[in-house]
Each structure stands twice: as C-alpha cells, then as structure tokens.
A and B are shown apart, each in its own frame.
Chain A
Amino acid sequence: MSANSKTATPHAETPPAAPYRTPARLRNVALGLVIVGAGLFAWTLSSQPWRAWANGLIASYLFVSIAIGATVLVALTHVAKAGWAVVLRRIPEAMGSWLPFGLIALLAVTGLGMHELYEWSHPDIVAQDELLQHKAVLMTPNFFLVRLVVILGLWSLFAWVLRRNSVAQDKDGDDRHTRANVAWSAIFLIVFGLTVTVASLDWLMSLEPHWFSTIFGVYQFAGAFVAGCATVTLAVLGLRRAGYLPQVTTGHLHDLGKLMFAFSTFWAYIWISQFLLIWYANMPEETGYFLMRREGAWLALFASNVVLNWLIPFLTLIPRPNKRSPKILAIVASLLLVGHWLDVYLQVMPPVSHFAVEHGGDVHAHGPFLGLQELGPVALMAGLFLLVVSWRLGRAALVPQRDPYLVESVHHQQ
C-alpha cells in the first residue's frame, strides 16, 4: 500500500491512444503457425487418426478454455465492481470473441473424430455394457453435439453482449452500459456454472465413460480461469512492449500476478481434493482414473502437472518484486500455459490411447507421446486464436474510453 497521496497521477480523461493494428510480424507468425499446424495435423490424420483427433480435442478445448476463462474474468470484474481492471479489460473481451470459432473447432473435432475419442459412441460396445446403456439417455452422438452447440453458443452470446456494451460506452459514456453489464455478468455466471458442469462431463469426463467425479466441473473451471489470466497477462505484457497500453502500471501487473498466484493455488486445491478423496476411499469405480495416469512413464507427466501448474508459480510469485517484474510474470504465465496444456493432455491422451490399443488395434499406442503430432493442432489453433483476437483488438479502442471506473483504474497504484 502506498502511503504517498501526493504522487503525480495521470489524468482520468486519457486521450485516445493510437488504435491497435495487427503488426505484420505477428500476422506472419500466426499464418505460419496455421500452415505448419494444418500440415502436421493432416499428416497425423493419415498415419495415426486417433492421435490426430486426440490432439485436435486437446488443442480446441485448450483455446476454448482460455477464451471462457477470460470471459469469466470480465464478468467477475463487472459483478465485483473491480475498478482497477478497466484499462486492461479490452484484452479479455477480445479473447472472448474466440468462442464462436472455438465452437466450430470443437464441433468439427468431436463430430468427425467421435468414434476415435468416445467409447460410448459405438453402439456395439454399448450393447455389451450395462453401465453405458444406463447413460445412453444422455450420451448419444447427436444429443452430445446439440449440447455442445448450445453451451458454446450461450458462452459466445454472453461474451459478445459484454463486449458490445463495453464498446458502446466508448461512444456515449452512459453509465447505463455499466449497469447492464453487471446484470448480464451475473446471469452469465449462473449460466456458466451450470453449463461448465455439463460441458466438462461431456467433453472430457465421458472419455472414460465409467468414471465419475463430482468436482470435475470445478476442476475444469479452475484450469480455464488460470489459463485465461495467464493469457491476459502475456497479452498485456506484449502490448506494453509494443508501446501500447501506457496506462497499465506496475500496480496492474502486480494484480495480475496476484490473480495467477491465487488461482493457481485454487487449481491445486481442487486437484488435491479430487486426488486425495479418491486415493483415500480407494474404490475401484474411481481409482482407475489415477491408476491409468500413474503407470509407466505417465507418472513423470502426472507429477510435472502439479509442479508446473502450482509449485513453481506458487514459489515464484510469493515475493512482491516478482509480481511486479514483467520478465518474471511473462515466464510464469508461459509456464502456466504449458502446464494447462499438459493438464488437458493428461486428461485426454491416456483414455484415447488405451481405446486405440484395445479397439483400434494400434499396438504403438502405449505410453505418453510427445512429438510433432502433439504440436500440430496446438500450433494451428494458436495461430487462428492470435489472428482472431488481434483482429478484434483492433476493432475498438484498446482502453475503454469512458467507463465510469476508468478514473480508478488509471490512478491504480499499490
């Protein structure tokens, strides 16, 4: 907390900064990622289709989770009336614009790769499995895809409304938009709570259709929110380096660091809650999930997950100076994103590869895989995500111009 009330403070009425345009270099890198990624994906699809679809699911879910995490951040700043965050709000708002594209990506992957990914989509397997017959009311391919479209459609709609109201305020400066966004955010958070539970059951938990865990939706939310905060942090740091966002001070970076610190720990809390309770009760219906991820070389990745997503960020972000250093924040945010990828990978790859061994007859499907096949879809999605988000950033002022809380945000210091 700063003691000095006489510090020179910038004016609330920030002059409109130079509008953001996607730099040519960023565009070229993104296009390169798209082309290389698409090529790798096509190559994997022809050699090991199940692996292409598994990585396709990982990559499309990864960026959907980042976009929805960022949208939840926007909604939370609205309902909590968090004044400090206004100057950087356009970035998560733009990231929310990825959701309709994520809808297409996830729909394509789960629709086309369904039989490689989801055991319950095979009528012959279901016919011999009493438990899967019980679940067949919910788990049919068409109903699954309808739910996916409805859920991502709702998320896209709310992200669009929140951004539209925010941008409309730039023109008329009416407080009405802020009030509307508080109400929309509150409704969105309820819809999100319900849909994220169903979405995580559908997209990820049903990869192992016999396994169940009630905390699973909370776990997916925790991962998505950390990833959203980490991506926002990286984008803020990148834009600052390119000379944009002069209003973002060390105080804002400090807060982003605190958010990553707190929610990385929240993720670890949910992780240990799920693991400890299943380990302790040791019931065969539940332990299979962890047994599969602890056999052979998977164990190393299983342990790295907690180290990357919690231990390193936790220890690094305890000291105050580290939360205020752009360099350290960038490293931690990047680690968290790699960690988030690993987290999703560990949820998708073991069951899909087991299924490929048992039903697909691919004898090479054992053990963790880390190759170009894994990079392809992630590069493809990352390239598209960068292009879309960067384009959306350029479509409105980079800082909300007339938000009633802007005055608090530009004076924010700690």
Chain B
Amino acid sequence: MSSTASHLREPLVTGNPTLAQISDEVCAPMERKPSWMWWTAFLLALSALIAGFSAIGYQLYNGVGTWGLNKTVGWGFDITNFVFWIGIGHAGTLISAILFLFRQKWRTSINRSAEAMTLFAVLCAAIFPFIHMGRPWFGAYWIMPYPNMRGPLWTNFRSPLVWDVFAISTYFTISAVFWFVGLIPDLATVRDRAKTALRKKIYGVLSLGWSGSNRHWVHYETVYMLLAGLSTPLVLSVHTIVSMDFATSVEPGWHTTIFPPYFVAGAIFSGFAMVLTLLIITRKVLSIEHLITLNHLENMAKIITATGMMVGLAYGTEFLIAWYSGSNYEGFVFFSNRATGPYAWAYWTMISCNVIAPQVFWFKKARRNIYVLFFFSLVVNVGMWFERFVIIVTSLHRDYLPSSWAMYNPTWVEYTTLLGTFGLFFTLFLLFTRVLPVVAIGEVKAVLGFARRHPETTSQPHAVTAQPSPAAARVEVAHG
C-alpha cells in the first residue's frame, strides 16, 4: 500500500535499518548458538514443565480426588486456569487479524510472536478440560453415540461445553494456518540464508517453494486478507462461548447477559498484558529494540488501559444490576460473597490489579518506561487470573442450601499443574525464538521510513513519488 503519512506519525521502526540489516538481525538468533541466558531460561521452563506433568501423572493415576475440589466447588483451579490461558490466547489473533483489518501498521513488528504465544496458550488451556475428565482415555468413547437401555445417547449439542470444543479447536486451527501463511515468505528467507543442506531442506519444505515472485505475493496477500476476515469473528467467538459455559446456567453470578462482550474484553486485556511481558524480554535479549520500539509498547499499554476500563465497566454494571434487579440471590453473590465475605481478598485483588493499576498508563512517562510496563503487565495477568477465580469459586462456594456451603482449598497438585503450564508455555516460546523468525521480516520491510512518504517534511516529495528508490520499489511490489 502506498502511504502518505502525517508529520505527527512517528516512524514504526527506528534507526533507519536497511533491508539486509533487518533480515540479518531477525535471523541472527536462529543462526548462532544459544546464549547462556537462553539455556538458563530454557532449563528453568523445562523443569517447571516436568514438575507440572509429573503432577498431572500423579493426578491421573490417583484420580481427581487429589485436587481440592468438593461437591459444592466442583470447578476450581482447573477451569480458572483454562479460562486464564484461553484469554491469553486472544491477543495474537487480535493483533494479526483485527489490527490488520483496521490498518494498524504497528502490528507488523509484534504479530509473529503474539501469534506464536496464542497457539502455545491455547495448548496450555486445552490441558485442563482434558485432565478434568479424570479418565480422559474414555473421552473418545463418550463422545460417540452408544447403545444403552434408553436408546442411543448422543453428545448434548445444546451444551455450551460442546460448543467450546468446536470453538477452541476451530480457533486453534485457523490461528495456526494464519500464522503459517504469514511465515511462508520469512521461511523462504531463512532457507535462502541456510548454510547447511539439512537446514536448507527443512526450511525449503516448510516454505512451500516460495520464490517471492509477484504472482506469489498477490496470492499471498489475498489469502492473508481472507484469513484475517475469517479469524476476526473467531477471536470473538472463543471467549463468547467460554463465557456461555457460565452464563447459560441459572447460577447467580454466572448468569448475566453482559458476559460475552465482557469476557472478550477481558481476554484481550490479559492477552496484551502477556504479549507485553514476553516482548519486553524478547526485544532486550535479541537486541531488536529498534524493531519493537517504545511506540509499540506504548500502543499496547493504551489498549490495556482501554480494555481494562471496559472490564471495570462490566464489574460496575454487574453490581448496579444486581442491586437494581432486587433479586436476593444476585445481591447475595455480589455484595455478601464477592465484595465482602471469605473471598473478599481475591475480589479486591482483582479490582486493584484490573481496574485501578492500569490507570497508571494515563501518564506518558509510565507508558514509555519499560520497568513500569513490565511490572504492570505482570500485575494485570495476576488480576485476570483472579477474575476467573472470583467468578468461578465465589459463585459456587455458598450454594442455595447453607448446609452445603464449603470453602475451596487447592492442593499442591493443582499449584504444580499451574506451574507446569507456565513451563510448557515458556518452553515452547523459547524454542520458537530459536527456530523461527520472531519478527515478520517481510512485513516490517514494508513499513520502513522510505516506504512511507511525508510530503510536508521531505524536501523533495515529488521526486519520491515519481521515482521511488529501487529498494522502496521492491517493497511496493512485494506488498502492493
């Protein structure tokens, strides 16, 4: 796209790198031996992963009774962690699809790693419903209609839990395809730079014979646009369906109509916080601070503030309507069990982290200070974990019958499983930084300074328009 930029637009990539420099810088981490920092991080993540999977093994062998769940609180850490990870998995496809459709070009530097993060987060999420089945090897048997005394029993397609299976697997599939399509030109770049035959072979197969011809780019752009359009409703559908796991019930605190958009806003909120956490480290370790600039981090901070306030508005609306409805049960959940009551500490942690803390980003200095950004990105993720915990546990622990009231105390197995998913997430992300380009090389080249025109500030704007430099022309052709 030829573009004319206002003088208020800041460059998306700083330092005026050449096209070759960008290829070199992004590919360098894949072509050198990993540093001691990478090894340390990898071994830590791998240990967490092994600990977590040992806990899962222990639980599968001994049964779900090793968790702290009871008859009243039948969903605890398992579903909290599931919703938490699914939420994290929203930012990637939001960045790659919705921001693409909105022509937000700053997405180009961050979309690759955000999409990778999305896929890993969805994998972490998928573990929980699976192990929550207790004996998951029966799962394949239970989803088939099977003969019994009441006639063939079918899966209950009216259950949102079944919709979830479809929504998440569709989302994962399309996100993976979208990610792979976006990778093809870059995989070809890696192939062309390969020094060993094996490397050339692997990346050659993966890049599907990409030659960079005009014809390839035209097809690529079309497919990319179509996948962006297809992914957009999917991003919204996933957390909408997850919210319906709760909202279709008649449980006070779960059944409320604002849940679908509120969950989607919360998912974007937590997803962006996780992208921020990861990219602040990645850009530093891989020395790509001029590709993922402070402007990128600042934009993400703004989105975090906006979505955080949407979530805050939803909290407030729930309270207002709980009072306005005059329903004793609604009032009991919100006023007696959440704002006060035995889990009030979790509720106020959630409010502090999700509504109050992000207000710091009203200050430009805070949005451009990587320490502040890093700290508050962690705070938001803690807050969003607690949001799911509050929704699930506080609504369940005091049932309609006071005789069945119970508290929920998670066991070491549940804590270790949660730790294990973080291990899985970081192990996969660290491997990703070793084998794939963490920044979309082809896309970033198209947003460099010389591909954009500033008629008011360039001394000879018409010269640029009439005779683009060879490099700019190549970018124009590549991305036209």
Contact = CB atoms under 8 A, between A and B. Distances in A.
B326 interface: yes
B7 A404 contact: yes
B8 A6 contact: no
A316 interface: no
Nearest to B214: A3
A404 B1 contact: no
A3 B313 contact: no
B326 A214 contact: no
Contacts of B326: 130-131, 134-135
B465 A214 contact: no
Interface string B442-480: 000000000000011000000001101000010011011
B413 interface: no
A175 B8 CA distance: 9
Interface residues of A, number: 52
Contacts of B318: 214
Given A4-B2, A217-B317, A277-B247, A285 B327 contact: yes
A405 interface: yes
Given A273-B260, A281-B250, A201 B324 contact: yes
A64 to B, nearest CB: 21
Contacts of B242: none
* Max chain B C-beta neighbours (<10 A), residue from A83, A178, A270: A83
A407 B455 contact: yes
Contacts, number: 124
A414 B477 CA distance: 15
B4 interface: yes
B327 to A, nearest CB: 7
Given A9-B4, A274-B257, A285 B325 contact: yes
B68 to A, nearest CB: 29
Instruction: List 8 tightest A-B contacts by C-beta distance, closest first.
Output: A3-B480, A214-B258, A5-B2, A215-B257, A411-B4, A273-B260, A134-B326, A280-B248
Contacts of B321: 212-214
Contacts of A274: 257
A42 B295 CA distance: 59
A172 to B, nearest CB: 16
A6 B255 contact: no
A256 to B, nearest CB: 14
A395 to B, nearest CB: 26
12 contacts: A1-B479, A5-B468, A9-B4, A80-B102, A83-B6, A134-B326, A218-B261, A277-B248, A280-B248, A281-B248, A404-B8, A413-B2
Interface in B1-26: 1-9
B259 interface: yes
Interface of B: 1-9, 101-102, 221, 233, 236, 240, 244, 247-250, 255-261, 309-310, 313-314, 316-318, 320-321, 324-327, 455-456, 465-466, 468, 473, 476-477, 479-480
Given A215-B258, A218-B261, A269-B260, A2 B248 contact: no
Interface string A265-289: 1000110011011101101010000
A280 B250 CA distance: 9
Given A1-B480, A405-B8, A414-B1, A193 B309 contact: yes
A258 B309 CA distance: 26
Interface string A1-31: 1111111010010000000000000000000
Contact of A212 (B250, B259, B325, B473): B325
B92 to A, nearest CB: 20
Nearest to B476: A5
Contact of B257 (A3, A214, A258): A214
A285 to B, nearest CB: 7
Nearest to A130: B326
Nearest to A272: B260
Contact of B4 (A212, A215, A408): A408
Nearest to B7: A404
A277 B465 contact: no
Given A212-B321, A217-B317, A281-B255, A407 B6 contact: yes
B341 to A, nearest CB: 21
Contacts of A414: 1
